[in-house]
Amino acid sequence: MKAKYTLFNVIIVCALCIGLCNAGAFAKSKDLLLVIDTSLSMAGYGGKNIMPLVKQSLPKFIDQLDDNDSLTLVTFDTEVKIYPTVYIKHKSNKDILNKYISMVEAGGKWTYTMAMMAAVFDKARKLQAEDPDREQVIIVITDAIDDPPPYARAHRYDVKKIAKQYSGNEWFIFFVNLGQMQKDSHIAKVQKEVKENISQYTKVIDAREGLDKVITQDLKKDIDTMAKVKEINTRPFYMHPIFIIVVAIVLLIILLLLLRRAAQLKVRGALEYWNNDLLEPTIEKVNLTAKNSRTISIGKDSHNLIRIHDFTLRTPILLKAVWFDKAVKCQLIAPENTVQFVNRDAGDILNDGDIFKIANYTFKYYEG
């Protein structure tokens, strides 16, 4: 029993390893849109100046980008500014991105969130159209204040107004929240609406404590984790870890049943035999079950499990365990025209009490 459980554990572990390895095997290159709130509130107007720490942390994040990824820097306040997309082919490409970051300043009077969302989603859609095999990742770093300019007060943040044209996408959308406690309800609402209307892969990351750690360590891990989750969710059902585990369990059950069935295939019972040529022969009896074998050979040579020195038949005969009519029976295998049954007509499946003659010996089989 212990061996069976060990085999079960091995199969499950292998299935999980296959699933996890496949998750990594299908990793896609990413188009990242790094969106930075550059309104005055990010520079300390009415609160803490967090822009310097954001700019200080981002180069470490950029350094973690994989080859063939792209990054598009987007800033927003009263207006939305989209920088040229940079593809990571060499360190010099990251240097260009770092230069863009160094140029960012928080000085906008207003925070036009609705315009930003529309512009960013439109850019993500264009990148997706250019190469559908890439993942689009949107990272919005903001203090969660929605304060559009006076001329756009009628266009306060409302995802539902733009949801129709962008719904059904599977972009990765992260909101890095730098706001105060009172902003939590707003950012939670943003996440809920985006998740329900744009992409299910939406997450808010609380960066009020430990901003540097969030940007330099946690953000990349969150992106990779979300990519693995999406890959598992979208892979063919036959490559899903749960399916693999189910198949492994089914195969294990089949294997155990086959092993059990094979273990039952042993010749059982007893066999008496005596020499026909003698007037008062000695009757020998052998316990077939004790041989613990699927096939028992009977012959005059030493390699046979049952050796009869004066047996005149040169070719050994065999007693073989077989499945017959849903039961394990003993099959007699002997050269053609050498077997003569005493108690019944000819046949190769032995029944309890069968008596048969072969060459100079008579045999009687006892079943069970």
Ordered structural domains, the chain, with CATH:
27-234 (3.40.50.410), 270-366 (2.60.200.20)
- For all residues of the chain together, what is the average pLDDT? 88
Q: What pLDDT does 181 receive?
A: 45
Range in 82-91, 118-127, 135-144, 269-278 the model is least confident about: 135-144
Please determine, for residue 241, whether its predicted confidence score (pLDDT) is greater than 80: no
Higher per-residue pLDDT: 131 or 233: 131
Strands (E), the chain: 30-37, 70-76, 80-82, 86-87, 135-142, 172-177, 202-206, 270-275, 284-287, 295-299, 306-307, 317-324, 327-333, 339-341, 349-350, 355-358, 361-366
One-letter amino acid at 33 equals L
pLDDT digits (tens, 9 = 90+) for 51-99: 999 999 999 999 999 999 999 999 999 999 999 999 999 999 999 999 9
pLDDT digits (tens, 9 = 90+) for 283-342: 999 999 999 999 999 999 999 999 999 999 999 999 999 999 989 999 999 999 999 999
Please determine, for residue 120, whether its predicted confidence score (pLDDT) is greater than 50: yes
Please determine, for residue 11, whether its predicted confidence score (pLDDT) is greater than 90: no
Range in 22-26, 76-80, 115-119, 145-149 the model is least confident about: 22-26
Range in 233-242, 332-341, 350-359 the model is least confident about: 233-242
Q: How many helices (H) and strands (E) does the chain have?
A: 9, 17
Q: What pLDDT does 22 receive?
A: 52
Please determine, for residue 194, whether its predicted confidence score (pLDDT) is greater than 70: yes
Q: What pLDDT does 258 receive?
A: 87
Q: Name the 3-class secondary structure at 287.
A: strand
Q: Name the 3-class secondary structure at 307.
A: strand
Selection from 306, 334, 328, 330 nearest residue 320 by Cα: 330
CA-to-CA distance for 170 and 333, rounded, in angstroms?
A: 67
Please determine, for residue 218, whether its predicted confidence score (pLDDT) is greater than 90: yes
The token duo for 43 is 């520079």
Please give the share of the chain, as a percent, with pLDDT higher than 70: 88
Q: Which residue has the tokens 């572990």?
A: 13
Q: What pLDDT does 243 receive?
A: 85
